[in-house]
Copies of this chain bind each other. A is one copy, B any other.
Amino acid sequence: MKKNLLYLGLLLAATTGTALAQEPVDTAMVHKIRNEGLNHSKVMETAFYLTDASGPRISGSPELKHAQEWAVNQLKSWGLVNAQRESWGKFGKGWNVQKNYAAITVPYYHAIIAIPKAWTPGTNGPVQGDVVIIKADTITDLDKYKGTLKGKIVMLDAKPGVERTYKADAVRYTDDQLDEMAKAKPTTTEARRAVGPNSPFMRARVLRAAINTFLQNEGVALILSQARGSDGTVFTTNGASYADTAKAVSPELETSGEDFQRILRLVKAGIKVQMEADIKTQFYTDDLQGYDVVAEIPGTDKKLKDQLVIIGGHLDSWHGATGATDNAAGSAVMMEAMRILKAVNFKPRRTIRIALWSSEEQGLFGSRGYVLNHFGDPKTMVLKPEQAKVSAYYNLDNGSGKIRGIYLQGDSAAAPIFKAWLAPFKDLDATTVTIRNTGSTDHVSFDAVGIPGFQFIQDALDYGTRTHHSNQDTYDKLSEDDLKQAATIVASFVYHTSQRDEMIPRKDLPKAQ
């Protein structure tokens, strides 16, 4: 192998006159990986089985289990070992939608676009009722509705959310934006500001909980709440707890902005609106555990095979669609990276592990639980021996856009390494190494116990505007070329991380929380 090592640092130093670390890049292997990843990709086939064939993969659902079992078998079929579903701890109730129908019937017929809020119950058969608007700025405002709402379809007043933007739904990073990221200075990580009990957010939450209890006691037939989104795109959230001890709530539909506002305008204008609905949801309580999928390509270097390179993404999704960009994309890319490495017959020095997390959407539970079980507790910073053996964790979970670089998450010592490893992918637009942190996904769980954890920089495409947590997060929104590029780059990063003489340098250990 050594004859293929290009000392890119030297090369760059010669051309730019600056002295970079001499981080080796194996160009022959990069060539093989590129050929496999770009010309013989299976990433879309993998994505198909995770999305279309499995369905919405909300935590604890049979659909998530289907995708997990498919992934385990697929990883095995590619020659990975120790492939299995591994419990990360207790999650709570599974849930899915089994019937979803709602329509205006008076003053005329119109079927609405709406999605049951996660972990809400169904209507227990078809229901019909008049629509009533609830206006409550305080809990005492509810008094006036007492005894009047049984069997009603209730809306909570809300301002219109639909707005014409004159901006493209889908975007890619501009050179200027990437430049700014590359030049960013290290900042001390601020602890997330605690939300006080008197904050508007917490007050609204308390009020909404009180309204929910009131409506549940009144026996309303159905609640309509306004979804974010427009043009038929409905962003989904949860409407109740997944805890096995959660108290009962009313059925609730997250309703498209257009349909919600239409009904609201009619009722406010004094025009009677009647609706019919038939919602069935199912809770699953036979197994309250949450599971990750793990599998490995075992290391072959006697000294290093106990060390790990881990890659991952979360496999769970929201329930309005098939979670294609959030995050079958990342899961398929990480599986594809493993497939590429097997296809080029790579025998790594360190062990390479893939982990497909679950319950990311509820709070990174799958990765947090896994880290707690294997590496340490971020609250106490009591660490397990394996914590010292993980060179790096790489994550992909920012949609279907290609990789434009990597967030160092403050680990400045990794910068010259990653710059060298990105150099062969300049023609594929991946160039940027930024000291910045990015949050909200599973690399954070590793970073929290002092394991270098990284998320790649990805083009946004229409993640923020159309797909992220929406009913439109479907296979169609996957960008094949972007996913191929991402898998190729991840495979190359994993290759180099597993072969590197040293582990990826670490930041100082975080303090106990």
CB-contacts of A67-121 with B (<8 A): 96-101, 103, 107-111, 113
Stretch from A264-272, A298-306, A446-454, A487-495 contacting the other chain: A264-272
CB-contacts of A227-249 with B (<8 A): 229-234
Choose among B160, B169, B172, B466 the residue that contacts A476 (Cβ–Cβ < 8 A).
B160
Measured in the bound complex, the distance between the Cα atoms of B465 and A165 in whole Å is: 13
Indicate whether A52 reaches chain B with its CB closer than 8 angstroms.
Answer: yes
Q: Determine how close the nearest CB of chain B comes to the CB of A202; give it in whole angstroms.
A: 31
Stretch from A53-61, A284-292, A383-391 contacting the other chain: A53-61
Indicate whether A167 reaches chain B with its CB closer than 8 angstroms.
Answer: yes
- Contact, CB under 8 Å: B265 / A475: yes
Measured in the bound complex, the distance between the Cα atoms of B472 and A511 in whole Å is: 52
Q: How many residues of A contact B (CB 8 A)?
A: 60
Q: In the complex, which residue of chain B has the Cβ closest to the Cβ of A261? A: B476
- Contact, CB under 8 Å: B170 / A262: no
Most B CB atoms within 10 A — which of A230, A234, A322? A230
- What DSSP secondary structure best describes chain A's contact surface? loop
Measured in the bound complex, the distance between the Cα atoms of B164 and A171 in whole Å is: 10
- In the complex, which residues of chain B have a beta carbon less than 8 angstroms from the beta carbon of A109? 55, 96-100
- In the complex, which residues of chain B have a beta carbon less than 8 angstroms from the beta carbon of A63? 108
- In the complex, which residues of chain B have a beta carbon less than 8 angstroms from the beta carbon of A98? 109
- In the complex, which residues of chain B have a beta carbon less than 8 angstroms from the beta carbon of A100? 103, 109, 111
Indicate whether A462 reaches chain B with its CB closer than 8 angstroms.
Answer: yes
Indicate whether A340 reaches chain B with its CB closer than 8 angstroms.
Answer: no
- In the complex, which residues of chain B have a beta carbon less than 8 angstroms from the beta carbon of A234? 232
Q: Determine how close the nearest CB of chain B comes to the CB of A468; give it in whole angstroms.
A: 13
Q: Determine how close the nearest CB of chain B comes to the CB of A232; give it in whole angstroms.
A: 2
Measured in the bound complex, the distance between the Cα atoms of B231 and A167 in whole Å is: 16
Q: Determine how close the nearest CB of chain B comes to the CB of A121; give it in whole angstroms.
A: 16
- In the complex, which residues of chain B have a beta carbon less than 8 angstroms from the beta carbon of A335? none
Indicate whether A48 reaches chain B with its CB closer than 8 angstroms.
Answer: yes
Indicate whether A474 reaches chain B with its CB closer than 8 angstroms.
Answer: yes
- Contact, CB under 8 Å: B265 / A232: no
Measured in the bound complex, the distance between the Cα atoms of B160 and A167 in whole Å is: 24
- Contact, CB under 8 Å: B476 / A113: no
Q: Determine how close the nearest CB of chain B comes to the CB of A485; give it in whole angstroms.
A: 16
- Contact, CB under 8 Å: A461 / B111: no
Indicate whether A210 reaches chain B with its CB closer than 8 angstroms.
Answer: no
- In the complex, which residues of chain B have a beta carbon less than 8 angstroms from the beta carbon of A321? 258
Indicate whether A432 reaches chain B with its CB closer than 8 angstroms.
Answer: no
Whether A99 contacts B108 in the complex (CB less than 8 A), given A160-B476, A167-B168, A265-B52, comes out as no
Indicate whether A162 reaches chain B with its CB closer than 8 angstroms.
Answer: yes
Most B CB atoms within 10 A — which of A98, A111, A234? A111
Q: Determine how close the nearest CB of chain B comes to the CB of A62; give it in whole angstroms.
A: 8
- In the complex, which residues of chain B have a beta carbon less than 8 angstroms from the beta carbon of A367? none
Choose among B103, B166, B170 the residue that contacts A170 (Cβ–Cβ < 8 A).
B166
Most B CB atoms within 10 A — which of A160, A166, A262? A262
CB-contacts of A313-366 with B (<8 A): 321-322
Measured in the bound complex, the distance between the Cα atoms of B169 and A56 in whole Å is: 28
- Contact, CB under 8 Å: B258 / A108: no
Q: In the complex, which residue of chain B has the Cβ closest to the Cβ of A319? A: B110
9 contacts between A and B (CB under 8 A): A55-B107, A55-B109, A97-B111, A166-B168, A167-B168, A169-B169, A169-B231, A258-B321, A261-B476
12 extra A-B contacts, CB within 8 A, seeds A165-B169, A166-B172: A52-B262, A55-B109, A62-B108, A101-B101, A165-B170, A166-B168, A168-B168, A232-B234, A258-B472, A262-B322, A262-B474, A262-B476
- Report A's interface with B, CB cutoff 8 A: 48, 52-56, 62-63, 66, 96-101, 103, 107-111, 113, 160, 162, 164-172, 229-234, 256-258, 261-262, 265-266, 269, 271, 321-322, 461-462, 466, 471-472, 474-477, 479
Q: Which 6 A-B pairs rank lowest in CB-CB distance, beginning with the nearest? A: A232-B232, A55-B108, A100-B111, A162-B476, A258-B474, A101-B101
